[in-house]
Structure 1
Amino acid sequence: MSRTKNDVINAICRGGVDYYTSNIENGEWSYPKALRQVNKFIDQKKIRSTKSGRKYSYLDIRFEDKERHISVLVELKNDTDKWDKTEIEAQLQAYVEYEKVLTGNKIIAILANTEDDRVQVWWGSDLKIDDAHKRTNQSEVLSFDEYADLYLGRKNDKQEVLRSTYALNEKLHGYGIPEKLRSQFVGTCLLCLKNNLPFEGLSTQAIIGGMKAVLEGLLVHDLNKAEKLVALNSVLQNQKIAELKEEHFADILRFIRDKILPYINERSTMGQDLLNLFFTTFNKYVGKDDKNQAFTPDHIVHFMCKVVGVNRNSVVLDPCCGSGAFLVRAMTEALDDCSTKKEKDQVKDLHIFGIEKYKDVFGLASTNMLIHGDGKSNVRQGDCFALGSWIEENNIDTVLMNPPYNATLRDCNPELAKKWEGKKEDPTKGLHFVYYVASKVKKGKLACLLPLQCAIGSSKEIALFKRKMLAEHTLDAVFTLPPDMFHPGASANACCMVFNLGVRHDKAPIKETFFGYYKEDGFIKRKNLGRIERTKPNSEEGVWADIEGEWLELYNSRKTVPGKSVTRRVTSEDEWLCEAYMETDYSTLTDANFEKSIRDFLAYRISNGANNA
C-alpha cells in the first residue's frame, strides 16, 4: 500500500483539528525562513551532515499545537531501505534541532515510507534520532491527538511526582489516616477519580457510596470479582475513613486529581511509568518503618523485564506479587510490543498472572492493575505453595519475583516448615520460594531478587537449594545491585539471579554464567524524595537510560569488562557474585577511594573495640 503526502496530513489531522503548518508554496516548512521571522539563530554544525556536509533546511510536513507545545515533524522517503540510514537520521536530527530553537516544543519525529505503509517514530526528552529514542511498536500513522496522548507524561516530570507523593503522605498523616491504610486508600481514590468520581459538595458517605459503585462497575467481567471487591472495599469500610470530614475527604481527592491524575494515561508508556513510580514510592513512604518491606524500584523492574525479554507473547507470573510492580511493568512492556487491539486484549486477558497471600496487599495489587487499565488480570489471593496446579495449568514461560527474605515459617512451604521447626524464619532467605515456582513452571526464564547470602551460600539450607536449582535449571546470570536499592524500607543488599528453566546447569549449551557488578545505577538519596535519578550535565535528561543500556549490552554480549562484568563456569559450591571473579579496573581508582577505604577500616576497628585505632 502506497501513501501520498496528503494521506499523511489527513491521517495526522483526523478528528477535525488542523495542526498542519507550512510557510512556502509547495507545502513544506522552511526552517531558515521561520527563524529569520523571529530573529533566532542556530549553530550551523547542528544542521549539517557530518558525513556528506549537506545542510538541511526544508521539512516535508510540519504540525504544531501551540497550546500543548507539541510539534510533529514528518519526513517522507520513497523507500527507506534504499537510503543511507546515517544520512536519513542526520536529516531528521537537523529538523529536530531547528524545532528546539524555534519553539522549544515537545517533539515527535516521523519517517514515513511512501511506497508502503512502514513508519518509524522517535520521541523523548532531549530528543535524539537514534535507536534509544525510537518507538519500536509504531506500525501506522496516528492522529496528532494520539501522538500527544502517547508523548505527554514527560520523563523529566518524575521529581514533581515524587514531591507530590511526599506531600500527599503528609496530608494523610495530618488528617489522621493510619499508615497501614494509606496505600490502599490512595490507590482506591486514584482509581475512582480516573473513572470520573463526583465528590465536590458531597458528604463523606455519599463519596464512599460513589466509590463502591465505581469499583463494582470496573469488575463486571472479572472472574475473581467477589474476592477483589472484598479486598478493595475493605479500606472504605474502615472507621477512620468513614469518619473523615467531608471537607478533608474532598481536599484529598482534589489533591490527587490535580497533582497525580494528570500523569495517568494508560495509552502512554511514559504515563504508566510515572504512575507506577508514584504507586511504588508511596508504598515505600507508608511502609518505611517495616524493614522487611522490599518494594522493588521501577527502574530495576524495567531492567529485569528487559533481561528476560518480556514481549507480547510472554506469559508472565509473579508468585509473590505484593503491590503488583512486576505485573504492571510486564504488562506495560508487553502492551508496548503490541500493534493491534486484539494483541493488547490478549495480553491483558491471558498473559499476566500473579499471586499474593495477604488480603490487604492483594487489594493493592488489584488496584494497581485496575489503575493501569486492566480489569481482567489473573491475580489470585492465596498461598503460592497451595496454587501449584494453577501455576502449571497456565502455561507460564516468564517469572519475575522478589520473594520474602525473612518469611516466618507459616509463610514458607508447609512441607519444609515442618523440617525447620524451631527456627524463627526461612533459613533459605527466599531461595526455596524460587525453587518451588521453578519446579512448577519448568520452562522459559526466571529472574528473581534475593539477598547476597543466597549467592554466597552462607547456610546449609541455602547450599542445599543452590544444588537443587542447578540440578534442574541453568544459572544464566547474576547481577550485584545497588546496596541502598530498597531505600526507604528494607535495608537488604540484593542481587538479581536469572535462570533458564528446565535445562540442567551442567547440560547448558553456554557453560559460563554471566556476572555483572551493577552497583551504580545513577540514583542518589534525597531527603523527602527517596532515591532519585541523576541528570546529565546541563540537561534534564536522566542518566539511567544510558546505564541500563550498558548493563543490557554487557549481559547480551556476555562481555568481560574490568570493574563491571565477567563470565565464569561455576557450580553450586561456588560464590555466585561478580566480586569473586571480576578484575579490578585500576584506572578508575582515585585518592578519594583510598581515603574512604582507610576510613571504613578505622570505623570497623573502632566499632569492634580495637585499641589504638
Structure 2
Amino acid sequence: MYLTEDEIRDNAKVILGFDEKDLGVKQGTGQITTFNQLGFKGVSDKPDGWYLPNDKQDIAIILETKSEKEDIFSEKHYAELVKNVEIAAQQYKCVVGILYNGTDVRVIKYIKGSGQYEEIADVAKTLQNKRYYIALFKENRINKQLIYSLTKKINDCLHVQFGIKNLYHRMIITACALVAKRYGAMLEKGMEYSLMTSSILNTLSKSLEKDRKQNLKLDLLVEVYSEIKMNMTNNQEAIDNFITWVSEISDCVNSDYWNGEDVMGIFFNEFNRYKKKSESGQVFTPDHITSFMYRLIEVNQHDRVLDATCGSGAFLVKAMCNMVKEAGGVNTSEAMVIKSSQLFGIEFDREIFALACANMLIHKDGKTNLEQLDTRTEEACEWIKGKKITKVLMNPPYERKYGCLKIVENVLKSVPIGTKCAFILPDKKLEKDGADKKYGNKLLKNNTLTTIIKLPENLFFGVGVTTSIFVFEAGKPQNGRNIIGYYIEEDGLETVKNQGRQDIKDRWQEKEDYWITAIRDGEDNLYNTRQIINPLEHISYQMPTAPFEIFEEDFIKTMMDYEMFQRGIDVKEFNEKVMKSVLYSSTIKENDDVVVIEFPK
C-alpha cells in the first residue's frame, strides 16, 4: 500500500520542522495556500511546503511532495519544482527546492543573479530538518595552514609566557579552551586570568552534565584541567593573544567543511618538536594515514568503529567525519546517531584520555563511548564484547613493555568473527616478538592476516621505527593462507620547519586513490610492489635484497691480502709504508693526461 501525497506532506512537515513556531518566519505545508497569500502578489501557484523568512537576505525553502508511487526523477515533477523555486527567487537571494515522495529526495539550490539551478548530487538520501538544507549555502572552507600557524603561536605562548613546561598540560589547556569556546564560554580580550579559567571550567562542567550520567569518567577532563598550574598569570597581552588565537581555531573547527583532521594531532605535530614520542609508548597517527586506513577496510556510515588505544582520538575523529559526510552532513539526524552511538575508544593514560574526551567534545559528540581502561585486561575485553564492533582502526604502543601484541590479541578475540581490523605495527613485530610463538603465531592460529602494507620509512621521522599496516579478519584461522603485501614507498609529504610533515603540494590524495584501488583489485601496475607472503616463512613485507656484485679490484685485493698473509706481512703496517712512500718519497708527473708516480731507486 503506497502512502498518499497528503500523508507524505504531513510527514514532511514534521521532519522538516515546518510545524515549529519560529519568530520572523512563515512556514508550513498545505494544498490551498497560494504564493499570493504568502506575499507574492498576483501569483496563484500553490507550493506544498514553504519556509519564508521575513529577512529576504536569508535562505528560503520550497517543498514539492508526491505520493510514494510517483517517480520524482521525471522531468515533469522536476520542472514543477523549478517553477516554484523561481517564484520564491523573485524575493529571496537564495532558495532551496526539495522534491520528496516519502522515499527519494531531490534537492536543488538557486542563487539569485546566477540564473542557474544546481541539483546537489551528494545530498542526504533521507529527508532532513530544515537546518540541514539551510546549511547547504553556508560554506566555510578550512585553512589548515592557519591552524598550524595558530597552534605554534599558542604553544610558544603557553610555554614561554605562561611558563608551562609539560607538553600534555599545554595541550590540555588549549583543548579545554576550545571545548569551552565550542559550548559558548565567554572568552574575551581584557579579561583577567582567573576569570578566563573560571569561564572555561564552568562551561566544561555544564557541557558534561548530560553525558556524565552515561560516563562518569568524563569528569577526568575537568579534574586534569583543574590540576594544571601556570607559573605566570599576570601577562595581559599573553592572555589576550591566547583568547584570540583559540577563537580563530574554534571558527575553523566549527565549520561544516572540517574534514576530520585530528585537532589533537595537529597540536602534537607542533608540540612534538620538543618530544618525539609519548611517555606511554604511543606514536600519534598522521591524518593522511587515518584517512587511508578508513578506506582500506571499507568503513561506512553504518559501522561501529573501535580504537582500543585511541590516544587523542585521531581514528575516531576521522571515522566520525567520514561517516557523517556519507550520511549527508553534520546537520542530518543520522549524524547525531553516528556521533553518539557508533564510535568507541579506550585509552589507559589519564591525561591522554582527557585529551581524547576534549577532542570528541570539540566535534560535538562521541565522548560518551570513551573509556579509561587497560586493553591488556579482561575488563577491557568484556567492554569491547558488549559494543557489537564491526570495524577496528588502531595504532597501539609499539614496545613490548606496553603489551603491544597482548593488546592486538585481546582486541581480535573480543570483536565478532569476521570483523576487519587494521593495526599499525613495526614491520617485524609479529616475527620478532612472535619468535617464541607466544603471540605472533598464536594470532595466526585464531585469526587471518590478509594484507600487509609497508608504509613510507620516514612516516614517523625521528621515532626510529619503520611500520606497516596489518589487516586481520578476526576469529578466522589463517590455515596456511598466503598474505598479500604492498609497499607505499612515498606519500608525497614534505617536512615543514617546526610543523612536521605536511602535504603542502597536495600529492597524497592521488596516491591514496591509487593504492586503495590497487589493493582492492589485487594489482600494483605502477610501482610493482605486490608480493605473495607465505606465513610459514615470513609475517612481514619482504624488501628486495641488493644484487650481489664483484669488481676486479675486489678480486685483486683479496688475492693481495691472501699473499701477504702467506708471507706473514702485517697488512696495516704495509699499507702505512706504501702511503708514506707515495706521499713523501715519490715524484708525481703528468704526461698527456696520464699521472706517473716514480719511486726513488
TM band (smaller chain): 0.5 to 0.7
Does 2:191 correspond to 1:202?
A: yes
Code of the aligned partner of 1:490: V
1:501 CA drift (Å):
1.2
Code of the aligned partner of 1:294: V
| Matches for 1:405-416 after TM superposition, within 5 Å | 405-406=398-399
CA contact (8 A) 1:523 1:533 kept: yes
Residue 348 of structure 2 corresponds to: 357
Code of the aligned partner of 1:181: H
Code of the aligned partner of 1:309: E
1:119 CA drift (Å):
4.8
| Matches for 1:15-30 after TM superposition, within 5 Å | 18-19=92-93
Which whole-Å CA distance do the structure 2 matches of 1:346 and 1:325 have between them? 19
More displaced stretch, 169-178 vs 431-440: 169-178
Which whole-Å CA distance do the structure 2 matches of 1:19 and 1:181 have between them? 48
Does 2:307 correspond to 1:318?
A: yes
3-state SS of the aligned residue for 1:377? helix
CA contact (8 A) 1:563 1:582 kept: no
TM-score (structure 1 length as normaliser): 0.65
Residue 162 of structure 1 corresponds to: 148
Question: Cα deviation per residue 1:62-116 (whole Å; 9 max; x = unaligned)?
Answer: xxxxxxxxxxxxxxxxxxxxxxxxxxxxxxxxxxxxxxxxxxxxxxxx99999x9
1:293 CA drift (Å):
4.2
TM-score (structure 2 length as normaliser): 0.66
3-state SS of the aligned residue for 1:357? coil
1:235 CA drift (Å):
2.0
- Aligned equivalent of 2:448, options 446, 450, 474: 474
- Aligned equivalent of 2:511, options 539, 547, 563: 547
| Matches for 1:584-603 after TM superposition, within 5 Å | none
Residue 263 of structure 1 corresponds to: 252
Please, which runs of 5 or more residues in structure 1 have no aligned partner? 22-109, 123-132, 407-425, 536-541, 584-610
Which whole-Å CA distance do the structure 2 matches of 1:16 and 1:293 have between them? 59
Please, which runs of 5 or more residues in structure 2 have no aligned partner? 1-74, 110-119, 548-574, 577-601
Does 2:238 correspond to 1:248?
A: yes
- Aligned equivalent of 2:220, options 230, 241, 252: 230
Does 2:171 correspond to 1:183?
A: yes
3-state SS of the aligned residue for 1:516? strand
1:346 CA drift (Å):
2.2
Question: Cα deviation per residue 1:439-470 (whole Å; 9 max; x = unaligned)?
Answer: 11143444444443435613454754221111
CA contact (8 A) 1:451 1:492 kept: no
- Aligned equivalent of 2:324, options 321, 330, 335: 335
CA contact (8 A) 2:427 2:454 kept: no
Code of the aligned partner of 2:491: D
Does 2:470 correspond to 1:497?
A: yes
Which whole-Å CA distance do the structure 1 matches of 2:276 and 2:294 have between them? 26
The 3 A distance-change label for structure 1 pair 304 and 161 is same
Code of the aligned partner of 2:453: F
CA contact (8 A) 1:9 1:20 kept: no
CA contact (8 A) 2:265 2:312 kept: no
Code of the aligned partner of 2:490: E
The 3 A distance-change label for structure 1 pair 163 and 479 is same
1:529 CA drift (Å):
2.1
The 3 A distance-change label for structure 1 pair 501 and 257 is same
Which whole-Å CA distance do the structure 2 matches of 1:324 and 1:454 have between them? 26
CA contact (8 A) 2:317 2:360 kept: yes
> Would you say how many aligned residue pairs link Structure 1 and Structure 2?
455
CA contact (8 A) 1:516 1:578 kept: no
Which whole-Å CA distance do the structure 1 matches of 2:284 and 2:454 have between them? 17
| Matches for 1:89-108 after TM superposition, within 5 Å | none
| Matches for 1:22-421 after TM superposition, within 5 Å | 119=106, 135=122, 137=124, 152-154=139-141, 157-175=143-161, 176=164, 178-200=166-188, 201-222=190-211, 223-240=213-230, 243=233, 245-258=235-248, 260-265=249-254, 267-268=256-257, 270-273=258-261, 275=263, 278-282=266-270, 284-285=272-273, 287-288=275-276, 290=278, 292-339=281-328, 341-374=332-365, 376-384=367-375, 385-406=378-399
3-state SS of the aligned residue for 2:525? coil
1:493 CA drift (Å):
1.1
Code of the aligned partner of 1:396: I
Question: Cα deviation per residue 1:154-181 (whole Å; 9 max; x = unaligned)?
Answer: 36x3223222222222222221453231
Question: Cα deviation per residue 1:459-491 (whole Å; 9 max; x = unaligned)?
Answer: 45475422111111111111111122234x633
Does 2:382 correspond to 1:431?
A: no
Greater Rg over alpha carbons, structure: 2
The 3 A distance-change label for structure 1 pair 462 and 356 is farther
Code of the aligned partner of 2:81: D
1:12 CA drift (Å):
11
3-state SS of the aligned residue for 1:571? coil
The 3 A distance-change label for structure 1 pair 573 and 429 is farther
The 3 A distance-change label for structure 1 pair 354 and 451 is closer
Which whole-Å CA distance do the structure 2 matches of 1:3 and 1:196 have between them? 44
More displaced stretch, 175-184 vs 304-313: 175-184
Which whole-Å CA distance do the structure 2 matches of 1:182 and 1:332 have between them? 26
The 3 A distance-change label for structure 1 pair 287 and 532 is same
